Amino acid sequence: MIIRQKSRYVRIGASEILDFSDKGLLDAFLGVLRVEMGGVEYVRANPRIVDCGNTGIVIRVNRGFEDELVLAVSFIKNVAGKRVGFYTFGVSGSIKNLKEKPVKLP
């Protein structure tokens, strides 16, 4: 019997306009995220980028690890040599509900 992992989706925005369609930038972001979360927590959380645009990205993470992801993202200050801050728009169990939430800028 195969057990399906339940996931949460986290919508993250950046303080600067970044081209998240660039694979090099996404790889750099995931590398910095791995350092901030720690190797073991990163593997257990299993973050995967689901959707990206100019304003932000949507990351799928195993349920129960969304708080660790949000905390780690808030500590990221540099990605690929660019000084940038990240913040969270919301956390949801489905992508549809996450995209329908209005964006509240800090």
Helix 23-37 to helix 66-75 angle (10° resolution) is: 110
**pLDDT > 70? residue 5:** yes
Q: Please report the pLDDT score of residue 26 as a whole number.
A: 86
**Domain range 7-92, CATH architecture:** 2-Layer Sandwich (3.30)
For residue 63, what are the CA distances in angstroms to 42, 69, 70? 13, 11, 13
- Output the pTM of the full model: 0.83
Tens digits of residue pLDDT in 53-84: 766 789 999 999 989 999 999 999 988 888 88
> pLDDT, tens digit, for every residue of 79-99?
888 888 888 888 888 888 777
| The pLDDT value given to residue 101 | 64
Predicted pLDDT of residue 72 = 92
